[in-house]
Amino acid sequence: MTDIKPISVPLSRAKIRELATIFRKVTNTEKTFYFDVLSFLELGMMTIDNQFEYIYLPKNEMKGYYGKACPEEHKIYIREDVYTGATKDIGRHRFTIMHEIAHYFLHKKENLILARLSKDEKIPKYQDVEWQANTLAAEVLAYAPLIKNCTIKEIAHKCAVSYQVARIQLKSI
């Protein structure tokens, strides 16, 4: 049995952290713990891509997806309950939106190949599109230069991320 999987150009955590730094500089949020992911989705993305659209859809129309990035269509689709959760600063939902933004920037067609892998074969994590999007989302939301002297609880509170994201980010520094 084989599966067709997208494989990205290689990106290390160090390279993704550099991208997060550029992201924070461009958005003028280098000294701010809290990254306003909704404002960036709704306003900031338009300054980068004037064709960009974000679309909120009911849960039943998203067919099991929390969000979906379609860079070639200039669109990100977000499930309505995820958007609502993000307005309430629920870390998991903020992370989901940032994760889709990360896919939007990192995973355009020219950065991907499709490969047929055997069931037992694993994609190296530095080429795994989900690992890359998770890592960029975490690096932007819990920005390493700001959190290095914080506790997990402080990171979760100040950055409005889950304890899991806070723990992973702190461990990665």
Q: Is residue 162 one of the residues assigned to a domain? A: no
**Separation of alpha carbons 40 and 138, rounded Å:** 15
Provide the number of structural domains found in the chain: 1
Residue 53: give the domain boundaries.
2-142
pLDDT > 90: percent of the chain: 86
Residues 16-42 have pLDDT tens digits of: 999 999 999 999 999 999 999 999 999
Q: Is residue 126 one of the residues assigned to a domain? A: yes
Q: Is residue 151 one of the residues assigned to a domain? A: no
Q: Is residue 154 one of the residues assigned to a domain? A: no
The model scores a pTM over 0.85: yes
pLDDT in the model for residue 88: 98
Averaged pLDDT of the chain: 95
Q: Is residue 167 one of the residues assigned to a domain? A: no
Q: Is residue 165 one of the residues assigned to a domain? A: no
Q: Is residue 73 one of the residues assigned to a domain? A: yes
* Matching residue, tokens 């338009």: 46
Please, what is the Cα angle at 92 between 87 and 96, to 5 degrees?
85
**Separation of alpha carbons 91 and 167, rounded Å:** 13
- The DSSP element (H or E) to which 92 belongs, if any, is helix 91-106
Which domain CATH number covers 93?
A: 1.10.10
List the structure tokens of 152: 């997990």
Residue 112 has pLDDT above 70, yes or no: yes
Q: Is residue 68 one of the residues assigned to a domain? A: yes
Instruction: Report CA-CA distances (Å) from 119 to 5, 83, 113, 116.
Output: 11, 35, 18, 9
